[in-house]
Structure 1
Amino acid sequence: MTAEPVAVPHVVNVDLAGRTALVTGGGSGIGRACALRLAAAGATVLVVDRNVESAKLVAAEAGGHAIGVDLADVAAVDRLDADVDIVVNNAGLQHVAPVQEFPVERFEYIQRVMVEAPFLLIRRALPHMYARRWGRIVNISSVHGLRASPYKAAYVAAKHALEGLSKVVALEGAAHGVTANCINPAYVRTALVESQIADQAATHGIPESEVIEKIMLVRAAVKRLIEPDEVAELMAYLCSPPAAFLTGASIALDGGWTAN
């Protein structure tokens, strides 16, 4: 992709012993990094992923539990154990196409996975969090929750909706010791980003070898991809005691993209 991955040490001091966390899309990429970081802090982790084999591998690493489910299946989401102290809404997917060519069924599917499923999980987790007077909702949004790019109508719409949901939950949960925040990364070194390269090359009429430099990193001041562990470390901070007053925020982890 670009330069070699950057090593990211654990620097946030957070003790989550006795806490249970649920991470969607936990079988790979950012979700895997978040699951392992939560486990390192002592939490029991529920690794939710459509790919149950990937979820099992991460759960084994984290000493947690794997749950295979397609988050577009509302009934299946409603059956998940949501008596958890931490929810990390991370699962996502991408489709690149002009609006007039965007498949309606793909648009709808992306909204179910990236908006409706987080709503359902948060809705079901809040009573437990309220009862314990402590809870953390961390929504892995995107720089595309704050900005837009051509050809990503469903993804941009979903991330903007997640931003609004997160802020409402922050306002409602504040009196109950529950925080809700969004992390807004630019392009992260994940399979989701890799899978976009061919589509972006075809859409923009450039070679695949030029997509990262000319499309993905063109608006960032820091010219490299973000590491999944960098997102996970920020997630860990949001679960720490010093972050108890931080809620309703959208934290741009974007290398200066939104400074432009």
Structure 2
Amino acid sequence: MTETISSIRSLLKQIDDIFDVRLLKWRADSRIGVQTALKSWDKHYAKLRQQEEAFQGRFSFERHYWDQGVTYIAGIDEVGRGPLAGPVIAAAVILPSDFHHIDVIDSKQLSAKKREMLYHIIIEQAISIGVGIVDAATIDDINIYQAAKLAMTKAVKDLAPEPEVLLIDAMSLDIPITQESLIKGDALSNSIGAASIIAKVTRDRLMTEYSVMYPGYGFANNAGYGTKEHLDGLKKRGITPIHRQSFQPVHDQL
């Protein structure tokens, strides 16, 4: 009995092996609908292979240490340097060598929905996760660069077991642990990418809570960045305890 085009389309969605014998049979099928479905599958498969290769490439730094017998390699990243309100938050993540979720990358390249999905996967599968939070008052006191370093240091110290190597996005820390500073590391290392996702989701959730505590600034939508809604709120309502008073234009409102 000849398979229907609809049933072949459904079966193609379940196939992830280019050597599946059914593909050979369907490629000999002269029906236009079958050939169109196969072209779509080929394109999807090629994209997945490309993503897989890129994912494996983003484990090159970790693999260098894994091959030397090092187990606990922490990726570290922070979010929240630019906003006018809220803390800077860093995360440190130690992934197992068999971690395999090809969508993990710099959080800025992901939708909010994808970040939330990957956040739960990372939480469930990571060997250890540490989070460091530095509030607005401390940012004003020591400056944003030092605050970012402090948040990262806190995140590392929150890890258990203690990491043997640190892979850090464009930063070096005053910690006696072997470390590599990688420019745009969240797009070069899966561990740093995972850390960027944890940090971003953690901060976005916190800013959503702040939007309830301090309505009128749009914190749930802008995460504390200087959008029109936020700036209008500053003019109408003034500053809140979570605003960074050393940042313009918050300073102008004092």
What TM-score do you get using the length of structure 2 for normalisation? 0.26
What TM-score do you get using the length of structure 1 for normalisation? 0.26
